[in-house]
């Protein structure tokens, strides 16, 4: 027996264990159509969320949550124009300073100064899933596909998984009390179908498959993009050495993770649990010691 | 396109993007690059409500009182023991009510009792509370009415051993989350909780015991209050910039209030607690209120910390830069 308060996966008997599956979300080819959001809601019968107008680009969903299991992020970025850019100068000022071409046109295309980043976010299905580790009822469990799923008939709404998740994925459904998140379409997987979001994605930005194969494919894709002059291209979550032992759903990003609202170095805090309990034991001993100290010298 | 790497210092510096109007510095590319997604939080705020910080206090009082009660028993202070045991039992008894009421599905509370899971401090805590409550029923009955003459001493020992765990596991529980102000304080939080429990138990005993035997509780309250103040100061210092929630908003106000009440209460107990009943009562009540407010402050700080994307991203960037 291992003396540690942290474990990565519950083993299944070989005849029940299936290859680990996941998502490779290649954000470089996401067109922001939100078909994934719609397909997910339809298939999983996820209630409508409070859909207002956010003003944050085309994103009115805003974040993953109990009623949002796929979330498409929209980021509008200025990119360097290759022009002299001093604080306070604008294109108009630059034009006035004689930077326009002889024909009166800008020497760069208008769209070269701007780019969209779009990315469909989802539960990461961590190798070391904090939500699953801290769940006191065993409602959260690891499936034979290596994914992390909430058993809604067991969940009693204690809410511990919610601040435990380093990605802010799982949340409580207010009128229902229980915690909800992406199941990676567990029902469809058992019928050898791909998850609804992956099937609905028209550009194959969301790719479903066996994790090993997806990781190899993603490595090739990131090399291709870097070669094509996209130095910001990077894989997020694919590294089994990261703080959650690698994620089952990983991403190809074109900018730093925090730009997309993702934590740059997420950690399964259960990794520190043994140490935290040791500290607590010491603190408990000091409580006893303090009480004894108060006893000594106090008169009857 | 030129790739610009950001240093970790820049991440925490400005939530909306560094370098706007950069006083004479040479402006680098991508000046308006966001450091967060529209300022939204990266992690989720907890969904726990008032029952949880109340339980932190009440559970701590129960755990500390069990230790104090056993010591009072073995040192021949029956009047203290006869009060500390029921205090411990009563506070342990209201705890499940508080915890169940906070559940999203209270009618399913028993699902906690169907598993024992070492990786979940909430599961471990459920069993600590169950064990302490059970022991305490016997211990209190023995102390008050002399029932269970044989089982009594064992139950008292068991309750006193589980007491320190009940007082500190709640710190373990919140430290084992992605909330930066809780997780990054994992080396100090258990000490804050333990000291706060000692202060509460001492103050309750000083408040309820007859004057002739109030010395033990009074001394423990002063000692615990000193420990609580020192441990929380140390926690805030070690948290560095992450301690911001303890200086602003609700958590900041509660933190100041807690420190004020705890120090004032301990001071009154030290100066006037021995001779004047009013000093003993007033000082004890202030220490109790201070301990409760301290837990509220820590609880609220977690929400403020979770809400701020820079609290989550900043330390992670620093970690990546140093690795």
Cα–Cα distances in Å, from A265 out to A97, B25, B43, B184? 45, 30, 13, 14
Residue in B with minimal Cα distance to A62: B40
DSSP designation for B282: H
Residue A60 pLDDT > 70: yes
Judge whether B319 lies within some domain.
no
Cα–Cα distance between B12 and B9 in angstroms, integer? 6
Measured in whole angstroms, the distance separating CA A2 from the mean position of its chain's CA atoms is 30
Selection from A2-6, A31-35, B12-16 with the highest mean pLDDT: A31-35
Judge whether B232 lies within some domain.
yes
Tally of domains in chain B: 1
Between A102-106, A278-282, B228-232, the lowest mean confidence (pLDDT) is in A102-106
Judge whether B317 lies within some domain.
no
Judge whether B42 lies within some domain.
no
Task: State the nearest Cα–Cα gap between B130 and chain A, in angstroms.
Answer: 14
Q: Which of B231, B172, B162 is nearest to B196 (CA)?
A: B231
Q: Given this model, what pLDDT does residue A90 score?
A: 56
**Which of B7, B16, B26, B47 would best serve as a mutation to test chain A binding (most A beta carbons within 10 A)?**
B47
Q: Which two tokens stand for residue B16?
A: 């909306």
Q: Do A270 and B114 touch (CB under 8 A)?
A: no
Q: Given this model, what pLDDT does residue A102 score?
A: 59
Residue in B with minimal Cα distance to A179: B104
Average pLDDT over chain A, rounded to whole?
Answer: 89
Judge whether B298 lies within some domain.
yes
Mean pLDDT, 10 residues at a time, over chain B (323 residues)?
A: 35 36 40 71 98 98 98 96 98 98 96 95 98 98 96 97 98 98 98 98 97 94 98 98 97 98 98 93 98 98 97 94 88
Q: Is there a contact between A149 and A121 (Cβ–Cβ < 8 Å)?
A: no
Q: Given this model, what pLDDT does residue A105 score?
A: 57
Residue A168 pLDDT > 50: yes
> What is the complex's ipTM, to 2 decimals?
0.90
Cα–Cα distance between B37 and A73 in angstroms, integer? 8
Residue in B with minimal Cα distance to A268: B178
Q: What is the DSSP string of B119-135?
A: T-HHHHHHHHHHHHHHH
Average pLDDT for residues A117-134, to the nearest whole number? 97
Q: Do B42 and A155 touch (CB under 8 A)?
A: no
Q: What is the CATH number of domain A21-77+117-267?
A: 3.30.70.20
**Which of B81, B168, B270 would best serve as a mutation to test chain A binding (most A beta carbons within 10 A)?**
B168
Average pLDDT for residues A207-213, to the nearest whole number? 97
| Residue A299: band (very low, low, confident or very high) from pLDDT cuts 50, 70, 90 | low
Judge whether B118 lies within some domain.
yes
Between A94-98, A222-226, B239-243, the lowest mean confidence (pLDDT) is in A94-98
Chain B residues in contact with A287 by the CB 8 A cut-off are 63-64, 67, 163-164, 167-168, 194-195, 197-198
Average pLDDT for residues A235-240, to the nearest whole number? 97
Q: Do B120 and A158 touch (CB under 8 A)?
A: no
Q: Do A261 and B67 touch (CB under 8 A)?
A: no
Domain ranges of chain A: 21-77+117-267, 268-300
Size of interface A-B (CB pairs under 8 A): 279
Q: Do B112 and A62 touch (CB under 8 A)?
A: no
* Residue span of the structural domain in which B276 resides: 51-306
- Considering only CB atoms, A87 lies closest to which of B27, B182, B313, namely B27
CATH number of the domain where residue B128 is located = 1.20.1630.10
Residue in A with minimal Cα distance to B305: A163
| Residue B103 or residue A91, greater confidence | B103
């Amino acid at each position: 027996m291992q003396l540690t308060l942290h474990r990565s996966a519950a083993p299944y008997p070989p005849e029940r264990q299936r290859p680990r599956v996941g998502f490779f979300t290649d954000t470089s080819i996401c067109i922001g159509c939100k078909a994934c959001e719609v397909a997910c809601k339809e298939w999983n019968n996820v209630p409508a969320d409070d859909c207002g107008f956010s003003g944050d680009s085309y994103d009115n969903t805003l974040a993953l949550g109990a009623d949002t299991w796929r979330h498409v992020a929209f980021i509008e970025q200025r990119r360097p124009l290759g022009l002299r850019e001093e604080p306070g100068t604008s294109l108009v000022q630059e034009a006035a300073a004689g930077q326009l071409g002889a024909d009166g046109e800008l020497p760069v295309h208008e769209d070269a100064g701007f780019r969209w980043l779009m990315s469909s976010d989802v539960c990461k299905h961590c190798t070391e899933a904090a939500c699953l580790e801290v769940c006191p009822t065993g409602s959260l469990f690891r499936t034979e596909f290596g994914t992390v799923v909430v058993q809604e008939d067991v969940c009693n709404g204690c809410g511990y998984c919610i601040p435990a998740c380093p990605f802010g994925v799982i949340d409580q459904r207010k009128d229902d009390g229980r915690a909800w998140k992406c199941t990676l379409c567990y029902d469809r997987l058992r019928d050898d179908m791909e998850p609804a979001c992956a099937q609905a994605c028209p550009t194959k930005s969301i790719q479903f498959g066996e994790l090993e194969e997806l990781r190899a494919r993603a490595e090739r894709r990131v090399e291709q993009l870097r070669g094509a002059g996209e130095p910001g291209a990077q894989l997020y979550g694919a590294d089994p050495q990261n703080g959650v032992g690698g994620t089952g759903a990983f991403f190809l990003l074109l900018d730093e993770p925090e730009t997309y609202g993702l934590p740059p170095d997420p950690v399964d805090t259960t990794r520190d649990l043994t140490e935290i309990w040791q500290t607590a034991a010491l603190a408990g001993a000091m409580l006893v010691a303090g009480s004894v100290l108060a006893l000594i010298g106090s008169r009857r | 396109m030129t790739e610009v790497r950001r240093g970790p210092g820049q991440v925490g510096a400005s939530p909306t993007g560094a370098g706007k109007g950069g006083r004479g510095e040479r402006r680098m590319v991508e000046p308006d690059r966001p450091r967060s997604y529209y300022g939204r939080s990266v992690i989720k705020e907890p969904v726990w409500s008032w029952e949880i910080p109340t339980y932190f206090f009440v559970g701590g009082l129960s755990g500390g009182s069990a230790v104090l009660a056993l010591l009072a028993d073995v040192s021949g202070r029956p009047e203290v023991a006869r009060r500390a045991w029921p205090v411990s039992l009563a506070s342990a008894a209201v705890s499940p009510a508080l915890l169940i009421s906070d559940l999203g599905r209270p009618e399913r509370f028993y699902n906690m009792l169907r598993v024992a899971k070492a990786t979940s401090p909430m599961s471990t805590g459920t069993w600590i509370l169950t064990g302490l409550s059970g022991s305490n029923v016997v211990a209190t009955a023995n102390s008050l009415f002399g029932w269970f003459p044989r089982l009594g001493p064992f139950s008292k020992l068991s309750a006193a051993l589980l007491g320190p765990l009940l007082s500190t596991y709640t710190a373990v529980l919140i430290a084992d989350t992605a909330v930066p102000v809780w997780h990054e304080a994992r080396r100090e939080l258990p000490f804050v909780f333990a000291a706060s429990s000692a202060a509460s138990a001492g103050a309750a005993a000083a408040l309820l015991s007859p004057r002739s035997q109030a010395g033990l509780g009074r001394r423990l309250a002063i000692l615990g209050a000193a420990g609580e103040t020192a441990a929380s100061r140390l926690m805030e210092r070690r948290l560095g910039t992450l301690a911001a929630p303890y200086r602003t908003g609700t958590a900041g106000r509660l933190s100041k209030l807690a420190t004020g009440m705890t120090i004032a209460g301990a001071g009154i107990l030290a100066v006037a607690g021995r001779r004047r009943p009013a000093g003993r009562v007033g000082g004890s009540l202030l220490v109790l209120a201070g301990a409760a407010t301290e837990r509220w402050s820590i609880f609220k700080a977690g929400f403020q910390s979770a809400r701020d994307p820079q609290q989550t991203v900043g330390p992670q960037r620093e970690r990546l830069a140093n690795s």
